[in-house]
Homo-oligomer: A and B are copies of this chain.
């Protein structure tokens, strides 16, 4: 029998006794899967990320993935969140403009990593289900929005801007433009883009004269 596949008669093959002993469970396994997911995101992008490859890379069975997440979308969103768990209150530079630049730069940096790759892909997978759409929105927008809200509130308290100019739509505008740029132009996001968004859009909307 020269050129055959393993073949049907090989059913009685020994069950491969050399399995890795310290079998991971729970948290340890979660971590391994997250790491494999992020690595795949990095190397191949969301479009080419498959449950099969993630499982293999994590040296886990596919069932262990499906036991935890119902689909690729949830896995990727979880993995991205897990990688950047820290909402970390925005730094305080003392001026509205400085704070906004810092905040947007933080978001840009986030988008340049796995979280960005995840965001891009998740968008198209998620829209059929409104609940998951909302979940994705919450995860991707919450951080930036809360940061800007806090920054603007501090500026109002400092008397730098008028509180009546602050509306949800305007708070959201800056991060939205940044995300929009990322989605349509990819990475890296030039710093001029951020400066322009702050100086030409955000500051004017809050009633500030554009920066230097």
A residues near B, CB below 8 A?
1-13, 26-27, 29-30, 44-50, 66-74, 78, 120-121, 123-137, 140-141, 167, 169-170, 173, 176-177, 179-181, 183-186, 196-197, 200-201, 204-205
With A47-B128, A121-B124, A177-B177 as known contacts, state yes or no: A78 contacts B7, CB within 8 Å.
yes
The residues of B that contact A201 with a CB separation of less than 8 Å are 169-170, 173, 201, 205
With A3-B72, A3-B73, A6-B68 as known contacts, state yes or no: A12 contacts B48, CB within 8 Å.
yes
A119 nearest CB across to chain B (Å): 10
A181 nearest CB across to chain B (Å): 8
Verify B78–A47 contact, CB threshold 8 A.
no
Nearest chain-B residue to A31 (Cβ)?
A: B8
